[in-house]
């Protein structure tokens, strides 16, 4: 095999340093490790499949695997495919998802498919109430919280049921679009059923038991989580009934995870993603 030239070695020094750290972590855990790190302006999407297939190419099947995950969220259908692909490789062996910083929205849905979620003080999950991007009629794409829309409809419907002549309620009810209501109700049901199937196929696989319906409902509860970006830390996640492996900030293993995440996060820009293992390093510009 030809040797790397000094210039080539220097140009890729960051990658080699990260992959050396990945190998060190694998020695500490006795598990394979793959990483998906997205910038703050990225989104989980179907484009991720191309990179993930490459990342999984040399993963030994039917062995324990860790996925280090950092993402603001994105496409729920793409998230389902990502988990399915990883599970097909891991089989019945244990899958852990390591959250160094945050895995929000659909990132949380991915984490629900793990046998355990590794968290520390800097880690956070988020509510899974779906957000749909709608055009405001002026060319602007506006993220719309589905549950808030449905809650408002239920509120004014209740007022009209009790007071049919209420002026404000009548005016507000005229603003609701029946087709949009149907779409939003379907999206909420999709999030709930996806969360439940993830839990059933992950941390609550038979013969394990847990309040699957209750956990999914709580993660969708906008009365409990007042904003879509609200933090669900390790203590709250455990209180919900999730299987959480907590590592203290100065734990040797956690410091290695955090060091790796820092290297990866500073490697990419806000609209870039990095898919990485001990043999592959695949940066990608987000298409959204």
CA distance 143 to 184: 13
Question: Tens of pLDDT along 118-148?
Answer: 999 999 999 999 887 777 677 777 777 888 8
Highest mean pLDDT among 107-111, 153-157, 227-231: 107-111
Same domain, 122 and 13: yes
Residues 235 and 184 placed together within one structural domain of the fold = no
| Helix, coil or strand: residue 124 | strand
The dihedrals phi and psi of 48, each to the nearest 5 degrees, come to -65, -25
pLDDT digits over 9-61, tens only? 777 778 889 999 999 999 999 999 999 999 999 999 999 999 999 999 999 99
pTM for this one?
0.90
Q: Do 34 and 177 reside in the same domain of the chain?
A: no
Residues 94 and 138 in one domain: no
- Verify that 166 and 28 share a domain, yes or no: no
Average pLDDT over residues 212-223: 94
142 and 109 in a common domain: no
Alpha helices in 202-278 (DSSP H): 212-219, 234-240, 252-267
- The answer to whether 215 touches 243, Cβ cutoff 8 Å, is no
Burial class (CB in 10 A: 0-12, 13-18, 19+), 11: exposed
Structure tokens at 131: 């957000």
Q: Which tops the pLDDT comparison, 6 or 13?
A: 13
Mean pLDDT of the chain: 93
Provide DSSP, 56-92.
Answer: HTTSPTTS-EEEEEEB--B-HHHHHHHHHHHHHHHTT
Q: Give the per-residue pLDDT at 1.
A: 55
Same domain, 119 and 140: no
Q: Distance between CA 17 and CA 119 in Å, rounded?
A: 24
Do 45 and 68 have their domain in common? yes
- Which residues constitute the domain of residue 25? 6-126+231-285
User: Nearest-CA neighbor of 202 among 30, 99, 60, 83?
Assistant: 83
Whether 31 and 169 map to the same domain: the answer is no
Q: Is residue 218 part of a domain?
A: no
Q: Are 2 and 239 in contact (CB under 8 A)?
A: no
Same domain for 251 and 171, yes or no, is no
The verdict on 12 and 118 lying in the same domain is yes
Let me know whether 98 and 137 are in one domain.
no
């Amino acid at each position: 095999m030809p040797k790397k030239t000094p210039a080539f070695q220097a140009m890729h020094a960051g990658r080699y340093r990260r992959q050396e750290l990945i190998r060190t972590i694998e020695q500490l855990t006795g598990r394979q490790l793959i990483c998906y790190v997205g910038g703050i302006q990225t989104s989980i999407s179907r484009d991720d499949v191309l990179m993930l297939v490459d990342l999984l190419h040399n993963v030994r099947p039917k062995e324990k695997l860790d996925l280090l995950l950092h993402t603001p969220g994105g496409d729920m259908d793409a998230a389902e495919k990502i988990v399915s692909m990883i599970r097909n490789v891991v089989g019945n062996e244990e899958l852990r998802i390591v959250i160094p910083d945050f895995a929000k929205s659909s990132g949380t849905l991915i984490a629900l498919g793990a046998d355990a979620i590794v968290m520390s003080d800097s880690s956070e999950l988020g509510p899974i109430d779906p957000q749909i991007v709608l055009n405001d009629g002026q060319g602007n794409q506006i993220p719309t919280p589905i549950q808030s829309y449905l809650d408002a409809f239920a509120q004014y419907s209740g007022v009209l049921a009790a007071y049919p002549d209420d002026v404000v309620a009548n005016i507000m009810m005229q603003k609701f679009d029946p087709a949009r209501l149907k779409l939003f109700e379907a999206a909420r049901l999709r999030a709930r059923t996806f969360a439940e199937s993830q839990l059933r196929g992950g941390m609550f696989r038979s013969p394990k038991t847990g309040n699957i319906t209750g956990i999914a409902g709580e993660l969708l509860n906008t009365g409990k989580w007042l904003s879509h970006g609200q933090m669900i830390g390790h203590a709250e996640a455990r209180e919900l009934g999730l299987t959480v492996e907590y590592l203290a900030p100065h734990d040797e293993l956690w410091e290695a995870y955090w060091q790796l995440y820092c290297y990866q996060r500073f490697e990419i820009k806000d609209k870039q993603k990095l898919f990485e293992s001990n043999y592959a390093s695949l940066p990608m510009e987000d298409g959204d």
